[in-house]
Amino acid sequence: MKRFAILLLAAAMLLGGCGPTRTEPLMQEEAAQGVPVAYVPLDDRPDNEERVVYLAQSLGYDLHMPQKDDYRTRLDGQPCNENGTQSGDRGDLYQWVMEQEEAGCDRYILSLDQLLSGGLVNSRAMSAHEDVVIRDPETGEETALSEFQVLERLLSALTEDPGNRVWLLDSVMRLAPTVGYQDGTLEDYNALRAYGAQPRPELTGKALNLQAIEENYTNGADGLPLSLADYGLEESQAAEYLAARSRKMELSSAMMELVEGAETDRVRVLIGIDDSSEENSIQKNEIAYLRSLLREGDALLSGVDDLAFKAVAGLYLEETGWTGAAASVQYFGGTEDQPACAYDSQSLETIVAEHFAFFHLTQVPSGEEALSLLVLTQPAEEGRQKDYCDALISAYNANRKAGIPTIVIDAGNGTYGTAFHQALTDRAELGWALSYAGFLDMAIVTGTALSHGVARYAFLQNGQQTKTTERAFARTVADSILKDFCYKHVVRQEILSYVQGELGGNPDNFWQPDIDREAILSRLEAGMEAATAPVIENLERSNFISSLAPYGEQGWGGVELGDYRFPWDRAFEIGMEIYLGEFTQPHQKILGLYYQ
């Protein structure tokens, strides 16, 4: 009878005009008019392209990027870029940056892996220094510059202007190159990763120098040469792999030498550790050496695909005089003292602590925070998975009730399946979170969630909200949640089965063999329509924090998705457009249902 009465009351409210309203998503919006930032992306994947645009717009910036063909990566068998290669055009990118400086731009976020190597994937494959060809757009005359000359000229031009702020993004090469690029096979990857994961002699003090690092690449921890046969490697394979590492390190070292005299607050260096290992690997001396070259304000952190997020957030925090905040951390699952996945070199706690230091967050006990971080770890006890999920959702809802801004990280690495996401969708207000991350490797999700969450918190303190900033913020939240909840854990599995089972193709590259890409896209659209429906319904009945002092909220409007795409013609990730309706007055919750 009680349930029947509630239903009657809800029906009466609906008939009385009190029911939930949905504002129709807008298919076209005015172009952003923010502060310009010249941005050379790591590559053309969503985490380096549209998601960085959303974050920048949410902070009042307008990212200016080169034409896509100049920074795109193509896998084996796919059509080449206009420069006739699988990688970005280093000469065009150099000219583009110089043109931005001539036009008066004074904010830069530049990926050195793209500028010097044509992208992250190609930086792992280039085993020799190659001149960069600069073409005069008027005369067609070509000039060849060494990679070191490109670095020197770029940094000289950008540091001459005292009004410039420059973020340089670099990486520590991962343990193995990319499968499906320049004929790299999975067998090659596994062999080289096992070889790279072996400890090398630990170098310290004066012995920690570039020459010694390179000389010890071939040696084990005991100083004796490693047997290539033990890893199934040919001498030529190992030589090419180690030469690529040497090239990367030489360029990174040269970059640090060039910025040594630059004012720290004008030029920042942010280096990410690419896919790593818990083992004492070939990366250890490289990391220690680069860390020894960092200046105050520079950073070397786990994760590469989140570097641009951290740079955009860092740029904003510096420009607004950010002094930090008190933040609590609660882990649910009991394995925070371990690496969250096989590609982390540190425990989850350590990675979080290092990112707290980067963002000037002071960890405090729960109840004393201005900002809360809730992290789901892999389960210490398999039979308690539901308990861990329930505890995090309870903490989230308590923060919601108390108005404590909250960041959520799913570091479960797939061990909860869809159960955690289903419970969050059923029992929590998803769109209220400052940020959420869970899609990529766990080192990356930490930087992603904190970049977005801390930036949003700082913007609520200092920024001037506009229609553009608020809608961009909503897109950062929707993109993270929808792709992780719906694509990674539901639709991607369907795509994998469809490509392999029905099309006889390779889900890691739709061109080898060449299969029906339109059919795959149709399957993606249908799958996402079904999988996203309950999550979008939740978002459309969510409120978001629109001010801190005084605390205020607005209601989400309608949410619609479209223009789906596979950026690298592989199943791993997708791109999509997020269309939003006008925001509303806060949605009110009555008898468990949201009403306007």
Question: How far is 338 from 442, CA to CA, in rounded Å?
Answer: 11
Residues 461-481: pLDDT tens digits? 988 899 999 999 999 999 999
Q: Which residues of 147-171 are buried (b: 16+ CB within 10 A; e: fewer)?
A: beebbbebbeebbeeeebbbbbbbb
Confidence check: pLDDT of 269 > 80: yes
Its sign, for the CA torsion 114, 120, 121, 122, is positive
pLDDT of 591 reads 56
* Helix %, strand %, coil % of the chain (to 5): 45, 15, 40
Give CA separation, 400 vs 65, 233, 331, 411, 587, in Å.
37, 55, 18, 21, 14
- CB-count burial class (<10 Å; 0-12, 13-18, 19+) for 499: buried
* pLDDT at 36 exceeding the cut of 70: yes
Q: Does residue 178 contact residue 125 with C-beta atoms inside 8 Å?
A: yes
pLDDT band at 276 (very low <50, low <70, confident <90, very high): confident
pLDDT digit string, tens, across residues 418-427: 999 999 999 9
Sole residue written with tokens 């199943």: 571
More confident residue, 271 or 588: 271
The answer, yes or no, to whether residue 431 has pLDDT greater than 90, is yes
Q: Considering only the C-alpha atoms of the chain, give the largest distance between any 2 of them, rounded to a whole number of Å.
A: 85
Report the SS3 class of residue 455.
helix
As to burial, measured by CB atoms within 10 angstroms (0-12 exposed, 13-18 middle, 19+ buried), residue 187 is: exposed
Three-state SS letters, 497-516: HHHHHHCCCCCCCCECCECC
User: What confidence score (pLDDT) does residue 595 get?
Assistant: 47
**DSSP string of 58-108?**
HTTEEEE---GGGT----TTSPP-TTSSSS--HHHHHHHHHHHHHTT--EE
Which is nearest to 433 in space by CA: 467, 478, 470, 389? 478
Rounded Cα distance, 305 and 474, in Å: 21
Task: Name the band, by pLDDT with cuts 50, 70 and 90, for residue 372.
Answer: very high
pLDDT at 408 over 60: yes
pLDDT at 30: 77
pLDDT, tens digit, 9 for 90 and up, residues 88-144: 999 999 999 999 999 999 999 999 999 999 999 999 999 999 999 998 888 888 999
pLDDT score of 443: 75
Token look-up 């952003």 returns 32
- Mean pLDDT, all residues of the chain: 93
Share of the chain above pLDDT 90, in %: 86
Give how far Cα 227 sits from Cα of 187, 194, 212, 232, 278, Å: 17, 12, 20, 9, 22
The mean pLDDT value for 330-337 works out to 96
Give the percent of the chain with pLDDT over 70.
95
Q: How far is CA 587 from CA 122, 481, 542, in A?
A: 49, 20, 7
pLDDT one-digit tens code per residue, 144-190: 999 999 999 999 999 999 999 999 999 999 999 999 999 999 999 99
353 vs 360: CA distance, rounded Å: 10
* The pLDDT value given to residue 427: 97
Name the phi and psi angles at 330, rounded to 5. Answer: -125, 125
> Can you tell me the distance from the alpha carbon of 517 to that of 5, in angstroms, rounded to the nearest whole number?
52
DSSP states along 277-331: -SS--THHHHHHHHHHHPPTT-EEEE-STTHHHHHHHHHHHHHTT---EEEEEEE
Segments making up each domain of the chain, as ranges = 1-32+466-596, 66-319, 324-463
pLDDT band at 592 (very low <50, low <70, confident <90, very high): low
Position 596 pLDDT exceeds 60: no
Determine the average pLDDT of the residues in 67-79: 97
Report how far residue 595's alpha carbon sits from residue 283's, in angstroms, rounded to the nearest whole number: 55
Q: How far apart are CA 186 and CA 177, in angstroms?
A: 10
Contacts of 228 (CB under 8 A, 6+ apart): 195, 234, 235, 237, 238
- Closest by CA to 226, choosing from 200, 205, 245, is 200
What is the mean pLDDT of the segment spanning 50-61?
97
Q: CB of 37 within 8 A of CB of 62? A: yes
pLDDT for the residue numbered 464: 87
Residue pLDDT, tens place only, 514-532: 999 999 999 999 999 999 9
Q: Is the CATH code 3.40.50 the one for domain 324-463? A: yes
The two tokens of residue 587 are 């949605």
Q: Are 116 and 97 in contact (CB under 8 A)?
A: no
* DSSP assignment letter at 120: H
